[in-house]
Amino acid sequence: MPIPGAGKLNRQVTIQIRTQGKDAEGGITDTWSDFATVWARVNYLSGNERRATQHGGQILEARTEFTIRYMSGITNVMRVVHDGKYYNIRHINDFEDGHAFMVLTCDTGGNHGR
């Protein structure tokens, strides 16, 4: 993949970080907060269906790559929000180890970024 030009980063996405806290009953709750809003190139890779449980049900999954300018601090316990959908970050690639761009390989599914 060639280095993307500035015009190719034409979609705004938000990267969110998850923190865990306790609710009033002492249970664990997830809270998502914005880490950064950045411009990205979106590349839709593939999609499939998988069984939700061994008793039935289907979950639709889609793999998507987001290419953004390099930013330190992004980890695979974060998620990307784009066009009202949540994407789990599965792999982070510092493009050609140049610290200029990074490719976030993500998927959707039933866990909303967990």
Model pLDDT for residues 88-105, shown as the tens digit of each residue: 999 999 988 888 999 999
pLDDT tens-place string over residues 12-58: 999 999 988 888 888 888 889 999 999 999 998 876 655 555 665 55
Domains of the chain, earliest start first: 8-107 (2.40.10.270)
In angstroms, the CA 35 to CA 31 distance is: 12
Task: Please check whether residue 33 is in contact with residue 76, taking contact to mean a CB–CB distance below 8 angstroms.
Answer: no
pLDDT at 39: 96
* Buried/exposed code over 44-77 (b: 16+ C-beta within 10 A; e: otherwise): eeeeeeeeeeeeeeeeeeebbbbbbeeeeebeee
Position 23 scores a pLDDT of 84
Confidence of residue 60 (pLDDT cuts 50, 70, 90): low
* C-alpha dihedral sign at 90, 79, 70, 46: positive
Q: What is the pLDDT of residue 106?
A: 93
pLDDT for the residue 81: 95
